Each structure stands twice: as structure tokens, then as C-alpha cells.
Amino acid sequence: MIAARTVLALQSIVSRENNPLDPVVITVGTIHGGVKNSIIPDEVKLQLTVRTYKPEVRKRVLASIERVAKGEAIVGGAPKEPLVKITPAANATYNDPALTKRLVSTLRSVLGAANVVEVEPTMVFEDFAEFNLAGIPSVDVWVGTVEPGKFSAAQQSGVTLPQLHSSTWAPDYAPTIKAAITVETTELLELPGY
């Protein structure tokens, strides 16, 4: 019960404690507890992913998670305080604007303008961000992986296709590898001296 209430209460951090202009994602990816359906477990382990764009928002959200976990344990009459352990995580990935503009232009000339699209920022969990934080201008590029007919049908029907890290993600293997190698080679030829 305490674990279930905690999962639900964590979502109130996003909806009630956060400025909607500072996006936050709190995902409870795993819940482990118990060994038999008729025995109340002594311990339940929740594993979370927290995504934010700003370090100060992340710090505040992590403090809120700890407060919520402790509060739910108190309300549930837990015999001991929960252990909240924060492990190192990736920072928000930031695409350098000047480098992005340069690479988009080059990729459009190689792949065709219709095949290179700039997308809105997303909450990706990626250690690639460390390059930019170390002062190295960087750009995270996505390569389409869906067979064009399936992609077109999904766009027309409004069906959401499986994404990376989904158990149903199935890239169109050979064209995806070819496109990724073309993008990588194009970028590497464009970047000397940058």
C-alpha cells in the first residue's frame, strides 16, 4: 500500500509543485517487493528516472521525492524510514545552436531538405550531455528507423509508432544502418576545424 500510494503521490510533484514551463518527468520504472501473493512484503524497492532541463529544477524535484517517500512511510505506519538513494544520472542534453544550424544545412544538402527535420526539445536520458557541459559544442542527431510505408500510414492514421527503449521497437535494420553511417560520415567531414 505504501509503495502504491508513493507512486501516485510522486506524480503530484509534477502536476502540483512544478512550473509547467520547466518540464519534469518522474517515471517509476520498476517496483520490486514480496515473494508470495498472500504475504505482505517487508520491503519494496522503487526505481525511478527523473528528467529535467535545469539543474536547479532537478535538485528541487529530488528533494520533493525524498519528502514524499518519507511522508507516505509515516502515513502508512512503516516501522522504519525509507532509504532514498540517488545514483549518478545523465544531465539534460543541449544542442549547440550554431553547430545545429551548420549540421542541419549540411545534412539537408546530402540527404535532401525533406529528410532532415528539426524537432522540439524532448526529455531524453542521455549521457551525451556531458560533452556540452565540458565546453565541447555538441548536437544530438536522431536517425529515423521506421520503414517509410509504415511511417506514412502511421502519420495518416494518427497511430503512435514504438519508440526507442520500447519493447516493441523494431527498426528497419539495413536502411537504418545506412542512414546512420551517412549522417555520421557527413558530420565528421563537416566538423574538422570547428
Per-residue pLDDT tens listing for the chain (194 residues): 999 999 999 999 999 999 988 889 999 999 999 999 999 999 999 999 898 888 889 999 999 999 999 999 999 999 999 999 988 777 778 888 999 999 999 999 999 999 999 888 777 667 788 888 888 888 889 898 998 899 899 999 999 888 877 888 888 999 999 999 999 999 999 887 66
pLDDT single digits (tens) 23-55 = 899 999 999 999 999 999 999 999 998 988 888
| Cα gap 43→25, rounded to integer Å | 25
Return d(Cα 94, Cα 121) in angstroms, integer.
Answer: 9
Q: pTM score, two decimals?
A: 0.67
Question: What would the grid cell of residue 93 be?
Answer: 542534453
At residue 7, the pLDDT reads: 97
